[in-house]
Amino acid sequence: MLLTLSELKNGEAARIESISGGHGLQSRLERLGLRPGLRVAKVSDFGPVVVSSSNGQVAIGKGLARHVNVMVDDFKVLLFGNPNVGKSVVFSRLTGLGTVSSNYAGTTVEFSKGAIWAEGKRMELIDVPGAYTLEATCTAEEVASDFCTRDKADLIINVVDATNLERNLYLTLQLLEKKIPLIVVLNKWDIARHKGININCDELSQRLGVRVIPVVAVTGEGLKQVMSAVAGGGRGEIKPPDFSSIDHQERWHIIGHISQEVQRITHKHPTILEKLEDASVRPFSGVLIALGVMVLSFTVIRLLGEGLIKYLMDPFFNNLYGPLVQKLVAFIPWPVIRHLLAGQTPEFMESFGALTTGVYIPLAIVLPYIVSFYLVLGVLEDIGYLPRLAVLLDRTMHRLGLHGYAALPLVLSCGCKVPGVLALRVLESRREKILALTLLLMAAPCLPQSAMMVSLLSGFGAGYVLLAFGVLIAVAVINSLFLNRILKGQSPEIIMEIPSYQMPHAGTLLRKTWLRVKSFLLEATPLIVLGVMAVNVLEMLGVIRLLGRLARPLVVSVLGLPREAVSVILFGFLRKDISISLLAPLSLSPKQAVIASVFLVLYLPCLATFFVAFREIGWRGIARVLALTLSWAVAVGFLMNLIWV
């Protein structure tokens, strides 16, 4: 594990990997004997950082110590298991929130890693992507299989679902064949007992030839024994298993014998939770439950998101950040630079400055909904509801060229399109991503945008609100059916596990939310800032005014809207919900209000969504999708203006 000298614990040894901070610092440290390749041990950091080596002891200021990169010879522990066995809860319990999420080299598959301490020894714990088998059938299983080599692992913790022992043991036997020291952790021990499943851990341990520890990861029960076993592995007390390689059929034969010998199941009547699990996937009751879950979820998301904006972000930006930026930018003598950074007005949504609009959009407008969405999403994931929603929607989605799990980005986009676009990563093929992206851009106005549409159109009557949303859904469905026919490739069939309902673990939920929010901040925010700067430059060069003049015939003649609507439509690229609210002072007729609302939803995504989508599918993909949505927007607007008398 690569750390800085200041991050080492007292008494910990490491090898100097590199020295940053300039040639001057490198020369000074080399004169004291500290150079790349030298092994050092940290003695103290009460004042400066004191290290000892074969060249004696050296004291370095804490600030300078951060420039010395060292490599710790970590004891590597891999956390293996099937999906939905509670592996992430175990990982969160053992490492806390101090974890790093990375993409495995050459893939988009993420894994997490963190440090644990066992009897004073630092160990690196890696949460390997969930896999059912090491005989890879997907990218995640390829990554898991690649991790499972002796040079990448000193110890494996195999998390097994105690409620589904037989299926989980297939991966366990494959791991035993790798001859890497192994510990089996039987998670969900409490749920297994409630279901009448009794497992003889001593007998299972004897059959497998490794230690078996029952745990309840959600409460932390049994994890002390896991840490004790890991510490023993660090001391070399756990020997590699003596297990010969066997074929597929023999593996299942052995699993059947083990299950019969170590597991006893007593009949128990279904609990209320188990009855609810069954009701969640049945057509009638499942739809009612889904509607209830969606209404509750979006209510929580809206209240939490709006609350964060109203009581935290807006006061911060209006009272602290905004005045500070204006004062600092005032010291810059060049007007062009001042205009690029802060714009010409202190209003955040009108200035188009990189430090005003560019920062305000991702942090004050999008981030609150991102946080609230990912919190609710994490709860639904950890409870085990999302797979059931995918099952309910699979038949409908399949007709559109997608499988049920593609409903996840669509559901997310109903609140904010940015997390919806980021969720396209759950889809494996580019064809699926294109189909899902066009569907969510057309059929799923974000929550603030939907609220503004209802506010604008409800004054004319509820029928106009239903008409606008009905047109959007119809266009999205027709477009998806069209794309499903012309895009090469097959509609995928759904294959997924439906886990039991369970209580979410707060630590895992917070860690997962933080990693997703951090990903948005690192990936999307810089693109949004650059996008706002580009719009500002185009405004300064007069390109925006030229586009306004060019768009006037389209807006007035084709769509039948007043000339004042041109600027509103151009503004919609930056913020769609506000652009719809700006239609209110234009005294539109019901016909014009519906056409303008539908056009603003269809024609282009907002700036934040545009740059996130560009990152996910590239310039060519986003250009084709935008050309398609703009064509639909113009065609639908023209037809409505032509037909509606």
DSSP letter string, 563-598: TTHHHHHHHTTT-HHHHHHTTGGG---HHHHHHHHH
508-512, 519-523, 572-576: the lowest-pLDDT one: 572-576
Q: Are 529 and 359 in contact (CB under 8 A)?
A: yes
Could you check whether 2-71 and 75-265 share the same CATH topology? Answer: no
Distance CA 74, CA 64 (A): 24
What pLDDT band is residue 383 in, cutting at 50, 70 and 90? Answer: confident
Distance CA 134, CA 281 (A): 30
DSSP code, position 242? -
Q: Could you give the percent of the chain with pLDDT greater than 70?
A: 94
Q: Is 605 helix (H, G, I), strand (E, B) or coil?
A: coil
Q: Which residues, 6+ apart, have CB-to-CB distance to 114 below 8 Å? A: 91, 94, 95, 96, 98, 99, 100, 124, 125
Residues 393-412: tens digit of each pLDDT: 888 888 888 877 777 788 77
Residues 73-84: tens digit of each pLDDT: 678 899 999 988
Better-predicted residue by pLDDT, 352 or 391:
391
243-252, 444-453, 600-609, 612-621: the lowest-pLDDT one: 444-453
Better-predicted residue by pLDDT, 112 or 493:
112
Residues 4-22: tens digit of each pLDDT: 888 887 777 788 888 887 8
Find, among 162, 126, 159, the residue nearest to 144 by Cα: 126
Q: What is the mean pLDDT of residues 409-424?
A: 78
Beta strands in 98-218 (DSSP E): 99-103, 110-118, 121-127, 155-161, 182-187, 197-199, 211-214
520: pLDDT strictly greater than 50: yes
pTM, two decimal places: 0.67
32-39, long-range: CB < 8 A, 24+ apart? 32/58, 33/58, 34/58, 34/60, 34/68, 39/13, 39/14, 39/15
610: pLDDT strictly greater than 50: yes
Q: What is the mean pLDDT of residues 565-574?
A: 76
The confidence score (pLDDT) of residue 613 equals: 85
Q: What is the mean pLDDT of residues 582-601?
A: 86
Which tokens in the block code for residue 118? 């066992």
Could you please report the per-residue DSSP string of 353-393?
A: -TTTHHHHIIIIIIHHHHHHHHHHHHHHHHHT-HHHHHHHH
The confidence score (pLDDT) of residue 487 equals: 83
Which tokens in the block code for residue 463? 């029928």
- CA torsion 418-420-426-431 (nearest 10°) is -90
What angle is formed at CA 457 by the lines to CA 456 and CA 459, rounded to 5 degrees? 90
Q: What is the mean pLDDT of residues 182-209?
A: 91
Q: Are 593 and 580 in contact (CB under 8 A)?
A: no
Residues 309-335: tens digit of each pLDDT: 889 999 999 999 989 998 998 898 898
Distance CA 629, CA 623 (A): 10
Better-predicted residue by pLDDT, 424 or 156:
156
What angle is formed at CA 78 by the lines to CA 73 and CA 84, rounded to 5 degrees? 155
Distance CA 234, CA 250 (A): 33
What angle is formed at CA 318 by the lines to CA 314 and CA 322, rounded to 5 degrees? 125
Find, among 183, 176, 147, the residue nearest to 245 by Cα: 176
The confidence score (pLDDT) of residue 266 equals: 84
Find, among 295, 633, 639, 593, the residue nearest to 452 by Cα: 593
Which CATH topology does 75-265 take? Rossmann fold (3.40.50)
What pLDDT band is residue 98 in, cutting at 50, 70 and 90? Answer: low
Q: Which residues, 6+ apart, have CB-to-CB distance to 600 below 8 Å? A: 569, 572, 576, 579, 580
Distance CA 80, CA 183 (A): 10
User: Number of C-alpha atoms within 13 angstroms, CB side, residue 569?
Assistant: 30
Which CATH topology does 2-71 take? SH3 type barrels. (2.30.30)
Q: What is the mean pLDDT of residues 172-193?
A: 92
Find, among 561, 562, 564, the residue nearest to 599 by Cα: 561
579: pLDDT strictly greater than 80: no
The confidence score (pLDDT) of residue 319 equals: 92
Q: Which residue has the tokens 């099937």?
A: 82
Q: Which residues, 6+ apart, have CB-to-CB distance to 474 below 8 Å? A: none
Distance CA 371, CA 374 (A): 5
Q: Are 58 and 34 in contact (CB under 8 A)?
A: yes
The confidence score (pLDDT) of residue 110 equals: 65
Residues 272-320: tens digit of each pLDDT: 877 888 898 888 898 899 889 988 987 888 788 889 988 999 999 999 9
Q: Could you give the percent of the chain with pLDDT greater than 90?
A: 20
Per-domain residue ranges for the chain? 2-71, 75-265, 271-645
Which tokens in the block code for residue 41? 């041990």
Mean pLDDT for the chain overall: 83
The confidence score (pLDDT) of residue 43 equals: 86
Distance CA 394, CA 290 (A): 14
Indicate the pairing of strand 49-53 with strand 155-161: unpaired
The confidence score (pLDDT) of residue 187 equals: 93
Q: What is the mean pLDDT of residues 116-124?
A: 79
Better-predicted residue by pLDDT, 183 or 100:
183
Q: How far is CA 326 from the centre of its chain?
A: 34
Distance CA 421, CA 433 (A): 9
136: pLDDT strictly greater than 90: no
Q: Are 404 and 390 in contact (CB under 8 A)?
A: yes
The confidence score (pLDDT) of residue 621 equals: 86
